Chains A and B, each alone.
Chain A
Amino acid sequence: MVPLSLQIGALFRSERGRLLRRVGIVLKSQTDAEDLVQDVFVNLLRRDAPQIQQPRNYLTRAATNAALDHLRRKRVREAVVQTGLDPAHQAPAPQPPVETILQSRHELAILRAAIAGLPPKCRVAFLLSRDHGLSMREIAGQMGVSESTVEKHLLKAMLRCRAALQAAGREF
Chain B
Amino acid sequence: MTSDRDEADRIFAEAARWHLRLREAEADAHDAFMRWIAADPRHLPAFDRAQALWQALAPPAALPDPAAIAALLAEARPRRARRAVLPLVLALLAGLGLWQGPDLWDSLRADHIAWTGQRRQVTLADGTRVDLNSGAALAVDFTPAERRVRLLRGEAFFQVAHDAAHPFVVEMPNGALRVTGTSFDIDLTPEGDRVALVEGSVRLLPGHGGAGVTLAPGQQAELRDAGISPPGSFDADSRTAWRQGRMVFYRTPLSQVVAELARYRRGPILLLNDRVAELPVTGAFSTADPDAAIRLIAETLGLSTHHLAGALTVIR
Contacts and interface: CB of A to CB of B under 8 A. Distances in A.
Interface of A: 21-23, 25-26, 54, 57, 60-61, 63-64, 67-68, 71-72, 75, 98-99, 101-103, 105, 107-109, 111-112, 120-121, 123-125, 127-128, 130-137, 142-143, 151, 154-155, 158-159, 161-162, 165, 171-172
Residue among B16, B44, B64, B76 with max Cβ neighbours from chain A (10 Å): B76
Nearest to B48: A72
Nearest to A25: B34
Nearest to B22: A64
Given A98-B250, A133-B64, A128 B72 contact: yes
A60 B21 CA distance: 14
A26 B37 contact: yes
A155 B50 CA distance: 10
Contacts of B283: 98-99, 101-102
B27 A132 contact: no
B21 A158 contact: no
Interface stretch (B85-93, B124-132, B294-302): B294-302
A172 B68 CA distance: 30
Nearest to B61: A133
B22 A137 contact: no
Contact of B16 (A64, A120, A158): A158
A137 B24 contact: yes
Interface string B149-163: 000000000000000
Contact of A103 (B56, B62, B69, B76): B56
A137 to B, nearest CB: 7
Given A54-B25, A68-B37, A99-B283, 8 more contacts: A22-B30, A57-B25, A99-B284, A103-B300, A105-B296, A120-B76, A128-B72, A130-B61
A105 B299 contact: yes
A71 B44 contact: yes
19 contacts: A57-B25, A61-B22, A63-B30, A68-B37, A98-B250, A102-B283, A103-B56, A109-B299, A111-B56, A112-B302, A120-B76, A121-B76, A123-B75, A124-B75, A130-B57, A131-B62, A133-B64, A165-B53, A172-B50
The DSSP consensus for interface residues of chain A is helix
A102 B65 CA distance: 23
B244 to A, nearest CB: 13
Contacts of A136: 20, 24
A159 B300 contact: no
Contacts of B248: 98
B304 to A, nearest CB: 12
A131 to B, nearest CB: 6
Nearest to A126: B57
A56 B13 CA distance: 29
B16 A134 contact: no
Nearest to A163: B9
Contact of B53 (A75, A98, A162): A162
A25 B39 CA distance: 10
B99 interface: no
B290 to A, nearest CB: 15
Interface in B34-92: 34-35, 37-38, 41, 44, 47-50, 52-54, 56-59, 61-65, 68-69, 72-73, 75-76
B27 A108 contact: no
B24 A172 contact: no
Given A68-B44, A108-B300, A121-B76, A98 B34 contact: no
Contact of A120 (B58, B75, B300): B75
B17 interface: yes
A64 to B, nearest CB: 5
Contact of B62 (A22, A133, A142): A133
A67 B47 CA distance: 13
A171 B50 CA distance: 11
Contact of A135 (B24, B61, B62): B24
B59 A130 contact: yes
A21 B300 CA distance: 43
B73 A107 contact: no
A11 B169 CA distance: 55
A98 B249 CA distance: 9
B7 interface: no
